[in-house]
Amino acid sequence: MAVNPLAVTTQPTSPRKEVEDIVRGLDPHTVLEWSEQEVIEKYLKPTGFEYLSKVFTEQHVTGAVLLVLEERHLKEMQMVVVGERVKFLEYLRLLKKHRKDADRSKALWTATTPVTNCAYHDKCGGFCFHLCCPCCVPTTEWRVTGQGIRWRKNPPAIDCCGEVETQLIDFRFLKDLEFRKDPKFLCCCLGSKLLLYADDKDTVHGTRQSTGNIGNADPVSAPISIFHPDSARAESIIRNAWADTDLVAD
């Protein structure tokens, strides 16, 4: 059968999709540091607004200024075509969203428990076992972001069939924090503990993963404990991130 050389074999890419890909390719954490020339090279040219380079330079539009531009500013810079203003603001909205998402997912604090420290074990035998064979001990990886507290429970490294469980407390459902010093190791040592209190209902969003299959995990009703030497600093970081979430919500 003859092939029509004019037949379309691929779907055309929309301009918006191209711009979305361009924006996602930018490092959102450096936008505030862009110079006037970097705004032109990294944003105006890739998005098709290179013709604004001269006026942006004259108005000293840096990355920090770019992120707060509004329609009235564009009008003041003689951007008279309504369609161009709308398109520019839509592309700018994508950049702001990309930066916001990156900020929310950025790690503010990370840790792994249990730690190899006698103050964080109940018995001498458990501490010696962890010290001599760390790969035989299940671990929990903690990660605090602008969204909430996530933890991942890993089976022992020698258990190739073990399940991996990940859970998250969203800051919207966090209720309280409590820092403690608990006696451990036959009451000879004090270990730092941070308790996380959250709503029972729809608070903890968890998934349990095993051999590629994901299912629903039951909500956690009891306080979650982070037993780590850096728990005091974790409390401060979590409280600050939690307060920032409340300010954004307001």
Does 4 map to a domain? no
124 shares a domain with 86: no
Does 73 map to a domain? yes
Do residues 141 and 149 touch, judged by C-beta distance below 8 A? Answer: no
124 shares a domain with 82: no
pLDDT at 208 over 60: no
- Domain of 64 in residue numbering reads as 15-105
Give the separation between CA 145 and CA 131, rounded to whole angstroms.
Answer: 30
Q: What is the CATH number of the domain that holds 92?
A: 1.10.150.50
Does 207 map to a domain? yes
Q: Which of 86, 105, 124 is the last residue of a domain?
A: 105
| Most confident stretch, 17-21, 53-57, 155-159, 187-191 | 53-57
Q: Which of 85, 105, 125 is the last residue of a domain?
A: 105
Does 226 map to a domain? yes
**Total domain count for the chain?**
2
pLDDT at 14 over 80: no
157 shares a domain with 94: no
Q: Which of 105, 133, 159 is the last residue of a domain?
A: 105
Give the separation between CA 133 and CA 124, rounded to whole angstroms.
Answer: 14
User: 148 falls in which pLDDT band (50, 70, 90)?
Assistant: very high
125 shares a domain with 100: no
24 shares a domain with 69: yes
pLDDT one-digit tens code per residue, 76-118: 998 889 999 999 999 999 898 888 888 788 889 999 998 888 7
74 shares a domain with 31: yes
117 shares a domain with 64: no
Does 209 map to a domain? yes
User: First vs last Cα of the chain: how many Å apart?
Assistant: 65
Does this model's pTM top 0.75? no
Do residues 67 and 103 touch, judged by C-beta distance below 8 A? Answer: no
User: 9 falls in which pLDDT band (50, 70, 90)?
Assistant: very low
